[in-house]
Amino acid sequence: MFIGIDPGRDKCGVAVLDAAGDIKFQRVIPTDELDDVLKTLAAEFAVELVILGDGTTHKAAAQKISAAGLSMRIVDEKHTTEEARRLYWKKNPPHGWRRLLPTSMQVPPEPVDAIVAEILVRRFLEMTT
């Protein structure tokens, strides 16, 4: 199992994926809850590695990961937000009048940080296979 984290100042995207890429957990959490969420996920899943994005506040998140006794790798976050927006619309196709607008012109109605965390794990898995 792999935990992906998209760190941010106020919120973090968190996703747990297995080696096959199946999502087991995915949420956006307040950054100040990251310690507790890491401990809970590590206890619930047999976590092999935490994949951390190199974006905003990643150094503070890295300290929390180390304090939880988990191993980690840092992955480049370049273009993950754009990729997450596209993936959001793939998973949640627009309805009503919104389906008439190109999704590239729309902003998802909720944060995509958890999808970014998923993408970070998938990038890592692609690099290692």
CATH number at residue 71: 3.30.420.140
| Strands across the sheet containing 11-17 | 23-30, 11-17, 2-6, 49-53, 72-75
Q: Per-residue pLDDT tens for 38-67?
A: 999 999 999 999 999 998 789 999 999 999
Q: Count structural domains, the chain.
A: 1
Q: What is the pLDDT of residue 18?
A: 95
Least confident piece of the model among 10-14, 40-44, 55-59, 81-85: 55-59
pLDDT of 129 > 80? The answer is no
pLDDT of 86 > 80? The answer is yes
Q: What is the pLDDT of residue 55?
A: 86
E strand segments, the chain: 2-6, 11-17, 23-30, 49-53, 72-75
List the domain range (segments joined by +) for residue 104: 2-128
Whole-prediction pTM: 0.93
